[in-house]
Structure 1
């Protein structure tokens, strides 16, 4: 039931999945992070899919490229937050490496997609 163009994009689907995994991770952070790292990583993760979808609706190619750039920057922010969470012992190395790997794969896909936009 994909009626919107962006719903068919693998990068959008993967970013939606990553956003849910990040939300679950942030739920496990200590209460002191509720308005700090927890909020930041959730907003950044959600911003990836939001920018992909916003850029795909009735926009010119330069506009779509701009929004893909925003999505890429948001993913970089998620990765930095993952590093912060690992350093603060909010996730173990295996969980970190899993999310880091998914982020790296998504980043490469998003960059390739952005580079294909004329």
Structure 2
């Protein structure tokens, strides 16, 4: 249906995932199987669901997977806020990633409306 590599939202979500991986590498090893693991899964879910939706046969299916990606982005945003609230990483390092997450949420909503 859509070539995923041409989708700006997919490119941005790949950028977000890489930023998240770099960020969580700063978390203590105590968080490896807790928050770190959950954050990585959420981040990976965003571009993965966009890609899966792009490969589907209908706009309805694509919108469904965009909706899943959007849910993952809100879950990720919540976990990034928790990192700040728990003083695990300085807010100045986390905030740009939250802003990118919000940008993707807006792009996702607009893209769903366009489909």
SS in 2 for 1:104: helix
Q: What residue is the counterpart of 1:25 in the other structure?
A: 23
Number of matched pairs: 114
Q: Distance in 1 between matches of 2:19 and 2:94?
A: 12
Structure 1 unaligned segments of length 5 or more: list them: none
RMSD: 1.1
Q: Distance in 2 between matches of 1:58 and 1:84?
A: 34
Match runs of 1:1-118 below 5 Å: 5-117=3-115
Task: Give the TM-score normalised by the residue count of structure 1.
Answer: 0.92
Runs of 4+ in 1 over 4 A off after TM superposition: none
Structure 2 unaligned segments of length 5 or more: list them: none
Task: Give the TM-score normalised by the residue count of structure 2.
Answer: 0.94
